[in-house]
Amino acid sequence: MKQIFNIDGMTCQGCRSSVENALNTFDKVTNAIVDLDKKEAIVASESKISKSEIQTIIGKKYTVSEKTTVHSGLPDAEEKSTLKQLYPLFLIFGFITTASILIHTNPWSISEFMLTFMGLFYVVFSFFKLLDIKGFATSFAMYDPVAKKIYKYGLIYPFIELCLGVFFLMRIQTSVALVFTLIILGITTIGVTKSLINKQAIQCACLGSVLNLPMTKATFIENTIMIVMAVFMLIDMF
């Protein structure tokens, strides 16, 4: 499950880091990310953690109040089904795939289709991330190994995707773009895999923080498709 706590009293990145490290040492916490600007902590755990427990962990220097709680587990009548939650992701994938096919129908070229698909994928997905870049960075740091250690990586990640998208669509340095795709998506996929294995109830950041998507196997499949395409294209080139 995921809980969000307001943390008052943080004044700098040192405070943020101190609170985050304290939360992540607590045995009930599977992962915790602290946002200095929003003055909040997103805490993932297998069972609910009380406000008083959080207060004890981080000390009297800061004041804690629970903002909201998101439960995970078996869906009930009030919860959206996973398929309904993932509908925006499937819809976007459908549009990108259809557009890529139509562009290269005559003459058909699997290589050109893949480059266009990857280009549109990056441009569209970076757009949603840029709508709330700080919110994306916070969600992304919940599972990406690099973003967990380097918060600023999450802030520049949407721009990396945008550049890669332009490279693919303009057919500029495609081999370099393919290598970068393998690196950044490979790292993210490792984090996604660990989250799925640990059954962490965290938000998928693939479409930023604007759309609240659950971390599911669909996220793993999405990254795997891009990685397979990148490998295929590199083999085809060399």
For the chain, give the number of residues: 238
Is 75 contained in some domain? Answer: no
Phi, psi of 153 (to 5 degrees): -60, -40
The answer to pTM > 0.95 is no
Q: Are strands 213-214 and 40-45 parallel, antiparallel or unpaired?
A: unpaired
63 and 118 both lie in a single domain: no
- The domain of 33 spans 2-70
pLDDT in 10s for each residue of the chain, 238 residues? 788 999 999 888 778 888 888 888 888 888 888 888 888 888 888 788 888 889 998 988 899 887 754 444 434 433 445 667 778 888 999 999 999 999 998 889 999 999 999 999 999 999 999 988 888 888 888 889 999 899 899 999 999 999 999 999 999 999 999 999 999 999 999 988 887 787 665 667 777 766 666 666 777 888 899 999 999 999 988 7
CA distance 238 to 216: 34
Same domain assignment for residues 90 and 127: yes
DSSP, collapsed to helix, strand or coil, labels residue 150 as coil
In a domain, 77, yes or no: no
Pair (135, 231) in one structural domain: yes
Residues 87 and 161 both lie in one domain: yes
Question: Based on the domain organization, do 44 and 160 belong to the same domain?
Answer: no
Based on the domain organization, do 66 and 101 belong to the same domain?
no
Residue 76 falls inside a structural domain = no
Domain shared by 225 and 128, yes or no: yes
Residue-level pLDDT at 215: 67
> Which amino acid would we find at residue 237?
M
Please indicate, yes or no, whether residues 53 and 104 belong to a single structural domain of this protein: no
Query: Residues 155, 181: one domain?
Result: yes
Structure tokens at 29: 């916490």
Residues 166 and 202 in one domain: yes
Do 54 and 132 fall within a single domain? no
Coil vs helix vs strand at 214: strand
Residues 164 and 108 in one domain: yes
| Residue written as token pair 């939650």 | 85
Q: How many domains does the chain divide into?
A: 2
Report yes or no: 64 and 7 within 8 Å, Cβ to Cβ. Answer: yes
Contact 23, 64 (CB under 8 A): no
End-of-domain residue from the set 42, 70, 98: 70
Of 70, 104, 124, the domain-final residue: 70
Judge whether 87 lies within some domain.
Answer: yes
Residue 30 included in any domain: yes
- Give me the CATH number covering residue 50: 3.30.70.100
